Amino acid sequence: MKRISKTVAAAFAFATFAGAAVLLGAGKADSHEKMLLKPKAEFCYMCHADKKAVYMKSGHGKFDVTCDMCHNSHGSGNKSMLLKPGQDMCYACHSDVKDHFNKSEHGAAGITCNMCHDPHGTPDAEPAKQAPPAKK
């Protein structure tokens, strides 16, 4: 497994701690917690099942960065119910990227993290749709 950088580790530790107080506290598979219909780890996938396979394989999923570390189910006043608006959401844990990025040609040109990364992970290359039809 890749090593986690010190900056990310520190921010992540804080987010895990804060997250536990919000919706999807890390780990515990107790369906009764917060009277949710599913254990927290499975909760969002109840309706957003399309995210599951890709997310589990992503850099975030592998490190147990849970949905609630970026989204608030009850809304937040920000687009997509994000806990922080736009790139500030990424900087919450990747503060090391912030310093360079804002001074870079990409940052200056208004390119954002999401134009190059999907925080939910990216699917494997599309498998061949189907075998070529058999000759008659």
**Residues within the interface to ligand HEC (CB under 6 A):** 2, 4-5, 8, 11-12, 15, 23-24, 43-44, 46-48, 51, 55, 59-60, 63, 65, 67-71, 73, 80-82, 87, 89-90, 92-94, 97, 101, 106, 111, 113-117, 119-120
β-bridge mates for residue 71, sequence order? 82
By beta-carbon distance, which residue lies closest to ligand HEC? 59
Of 115 and 134, the one with the shorter C-beta distance to ligand HEC is: 115
On the CB side of 126, CA atoms within 13 Å amount to 3
Q: How far is the CB of 19 from ligand HEC (least distance, A)?
A: 8
Q: Which residue has the tokens 């190059």?
A: 116
92 close to 7: Cβ distance less than 8 angstroms: no
- State the amino acid at position 11 in one-letter form: A
